[in-house]
């Protein structure tokens, strides 16, 4: 089984609450995939990263890169500072200063951010943060698209040969349905699971292949 978890955005309580629900189901053969955007907006980005780092010692885990991790790394190098501030970066800065006294990242946090993958592929599905452009193999997609694309992915009338699971765009902005509803388009073969944890919605986990949904509330 694969347990795929959407955008956390510094909401440690939602992450820990969701994990309490799913951990009793997870076996040694299962893999947990995180779709990125672990930080920003919520108040506890440091604690989220600590949790994820600890998790990999006991579970098979895959950590993907979101656009917020990319912006954070740019910010740390003095690039794109207004963009990062506009997208909730101050919450992450405050979290690190509160927990370690400065924005000097612990070595294991540096290693975590620098190890994030752009996508994860099996015989049956592709998981990534934002999406892809139709007709291009995943290994040839641009890194920018995989963490930033929106309408050019999910609005295209195109059926993907493999199921594509993504976060990044809150599902309510795609479907207009209640914020807790995932976006499962069986015609396009895509599933969006960012149910707006940063905006009052739950944090969502999709289990494959049975498509069972777990949520933080």
- H helices present in the chain, as ranges: 12-22, 45-55, 67-76, 81-86, 89-100, 107-114, 143-148, 151-154, 171-175
Q: Alpha carbon 4 to chain centroid distance? A: 9
pTM for this one? 0.96
What is the structure's pLDDT at 123? 97
What is the structure's pLDDT at 217? 80
Domains of the chain: 2-215 (3.60.21.10)
The pLDDT tens digits of the residues spanning 91-135 come to 999 999 999 999 989 999 999 999 999 999 999 999 999 999 999
């Amino acid at each position: 089984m694969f347990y795929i978890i959407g955008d956390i955005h510094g909401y440690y309580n939602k992450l820990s609450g969701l994990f309490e629900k799913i951990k009793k189901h997870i076996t040694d053969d299962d893999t947990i995939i995180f779709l990125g955007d672990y930080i920003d907006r919520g108040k506890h980005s440091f604690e989220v990263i600590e949790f994820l780092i600890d998790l990999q010692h006991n579970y098979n885990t895959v950590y993907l890169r979101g656009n917020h991790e990319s912006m954070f790394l740019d910010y740390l190098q003095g690039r794109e500072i207004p963009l990062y501030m506009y997208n909730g970066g101050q919450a992450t800065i405050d979290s690190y200063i509160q927990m370690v006294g400065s924005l000097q990242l612990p070595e294991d946090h540096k290693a975590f951010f620098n190890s994030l993958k752009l996508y994860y592929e099996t015989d049956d599905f592709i998981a990534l943060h934002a999406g892809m452009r139709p007709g291009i193999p995943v290994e040839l997609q641009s890194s920018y698209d995989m963490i930033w694309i929106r309408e050019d992915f999910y609005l295209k009338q195109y059926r993907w040969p493999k199921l594509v699971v993504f976060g990044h765009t809150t599902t309510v902005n795609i479907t207009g349905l209640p914020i807790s509803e995932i976006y499962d388009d069986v015609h396009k073969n895509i599933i969006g699971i960012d149910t707006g944890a940063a905006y009052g919605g739950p944090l969502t986990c999709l289990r494959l292949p049975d498509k069972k949904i777990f949520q933080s509330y």
